[in-house]
């Protein structure tokens, strides 16, 4: 069988390099190429050398259009603005995508959803297999415990993360809301400061911590009268996201146009 040709947009970043290395290490996959911004300093470098694989004879380009034409599927872990632009481009070119970018605005999210009407896209705020199992567990626990239990979601990431709460924390909130059959935006409590008054029953609270080099910790707390249930996932390496992304890339090629998540990839 032909190998799946996978391209990496933004291949010079920390995550991009891990994605390239994971593609190279995965049977049935081949590196189609990578792209970077013209002023990044990575253009024309050998993508294998940059990812620590040694020279493989593929130079990093600056044109996402060409990368998409050369790939069966592209991995997109860049910025919200770039992701929206690349999703629209992928729709025009007919190239499948795996998107792991977080922090998209509602308008940027709409661009991705519109693109998914033309191409298959796996879009997940967290590509970790463990986190995606946790999402299913949180939804089920929220359904079974009911509104008498308070739900708080706490996350911690490295000092350089620019969005808060994390996309994963929000996804966990969405899972809890789905379990309760409510709309998250109507019950979320993103911050507390000063005299806030008592907690409203049914709220889903969020707390975001930043510091050090924490890859990603997520705690979902169900607090009831006289007891507390805590579900925790800790990531110790970003390589887990690369593994999940490449698995999603292999799965999405050849699928009908549509917006998918890791839930579909894993068959949950």
pLDDT value of position 1: 64
The rounded mean pLDDT for the chain is: 94
- Banded model confidence at residue 106, pLDDT cuts 50, 70, 90: very high
Q: pLDDT tens for residues 243-265?
A: 999 999 999 999 999 999 998 99
Q: What are the sequence ranges of the domains in the chain?
A: 4-123+238-266, 129-235
* Residues pairing with 35 in the sheet: 9, 61
pLDDT value of position 136: 92
Q: Is the distance from CB of 35 to CB of 61 less than 8 angstroms?
A: yes
Pick the catalytic residue from 5, 157, 218, 243.
Answer: 157
DSSP structure string for 120-143: EEEE-S---HHHHHHHHHHHHHHH
Report the C-alpha gap between 139 and 221 in whole angstroms: 13
* Known active-site residue 158: no
- Banded model confidence at residue 163, pLDDT cuts 50, 70, 90: confident
Q: What is the β-pairing status of strands 150-157 and 216-224?
A: antiparallel
Q: Which fold has domain 129-235?
A: Dihydrodipicolinate Reductase; domain 2 (3.30.360)
Identify the helix (H) or strand (E) that includes residue 192.
none
* Known active-site residue 157: yes
Pick the catalytic residue from 3, 161, 219, 263.
Answer: 161
For domain 4-123+238-266, which CATH number applies: 3.40.630.30, 1.10.760.10, 3.40.50.2300, 3.40.50.720? 3.40.50.720
Q: pLDDT tens for residues 26-61?
A: 999 999 999 998 888 899 999 999 999 999 999 999
pLDDT value of position 117: 98
Interval 94-115 mean pLDDT: 95
The first and second tokens of residue 42, run together, are: 């990575």
The first and second tokens of residue 185, run together, are: 């935006």
Q: Please give the model's pTM, rounded to 2 decimal places.
A: 0.80
């Amino acid at each position: 069988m032909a190998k799946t040709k996978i391209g990496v947009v933004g291949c010079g970043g920390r995550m991009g390099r891990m994605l390239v290395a994971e593609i190279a290490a995965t049977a049935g996959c081949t590196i189609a190429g990578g792209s970077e911004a013209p002023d990044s300093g990575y253009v024309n470098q050998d993508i294998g050398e940059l990812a620590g694989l040694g020279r493989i004879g593929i130079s990093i380009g600056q044109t996402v259009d060409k990368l998409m034409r050369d790939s069966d599927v592209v991995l997109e872990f860049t910025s919200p603005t770039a992701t929206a632009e690349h999703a629209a481009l992928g729709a025009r070119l007919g190239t499948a995508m795996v998107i792991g970018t977080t922090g998209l605005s509602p308008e940027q999210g709409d661009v991705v959803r519109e693109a998914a009407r033309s191409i298959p896209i796996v879009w997940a705020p967290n590509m970790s297999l463990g986190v995606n199992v946790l999402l299913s567990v949180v939804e089920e626990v929220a359904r079974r415990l009911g509104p008498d239990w308070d739900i708080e979601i706490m996350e911690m990431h490295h000092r350089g993360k620019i969005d808060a709460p994390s996309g994963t924390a929000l996804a966990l909130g969405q899972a809890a809301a789905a379990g309760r059959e409510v709309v998250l935006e109507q019950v979320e409590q993103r911050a507390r400061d000063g005299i806030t008054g008592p907690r409203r029953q049914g709220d889903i609270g969020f707390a975001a911590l930043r510091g050090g080099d924490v890859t990603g910790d997520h705690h979902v707390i169900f607090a009831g009268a006289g007891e507390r249930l805590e579900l925790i996932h800790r990531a110790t390496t970003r390589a887990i996201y690369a593994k999940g992304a490449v698995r999603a890339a292999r799965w999405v090629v050849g699928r009908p146009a549509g917006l998918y998540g890791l839930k579909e990839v894993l068959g949950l």
